[in-house]
Amino acid sequence: MPPTLQALALVGLGGAAGSIARYLLATWTMHAATPQKFPLGTFVVNLAGCLVAGLLAGLAERHPGWLSPDLRLLLFVGLLGGFTTFSAFGLETAQLLRRGEWLVATGYVGGSVLLGIGAVWLGLRLVGKA
């Protein structure tokens, strides 16, 4: 079933807010810290996104019906998706581990990290920058 215009609007609005929040937090973090080689802004954004995803998912489990499907779209797909997709990665991995699917979780984490880095390298190589 194709997404509705309302669903697209919710994801778009949440995504815009999440992207702005990511930029503000990452910029503030980098200016507050002493200059360093470690990408602290992205690191903090990813951890904050995972914390918020866990809090929202836990509250949704504890209080069924609290998050309507529209609110889930706005918050999880839109806001957190615009803020960081690492939060979805963290939440999905935690859900796999909670279900006891260690092998699937290991493949997901290892494949995402290794193949993701490989895909970036390939992209750089294809344009002659690697």
Map out the domains of the chain as residue ranges: 5-84
Cα-based distances in Å from 126 to 28, 53, 78, 113, 123: 34, 35, 31, 20, 5
Residue 32 pLDDT? 80
Find out whether 78 is annotated in a ligand binding site. no
128 is in an annotated binding site: no
- Residue 96's H or E segment, with its range, is helix 86-98
pLDDT of residue 130: 67
Burial class (CB in 10 A: 0-12, 13-18, 19+), 100: exposed
pLDDT digit string, tens, across residues 18-66? 999 999 999 998 888 776 777 788 889 999 999 999 999 999 989 989 8
Which tens digits make up the pLDDT trace of 95-116?
999 999 999 999 999 999 999 8
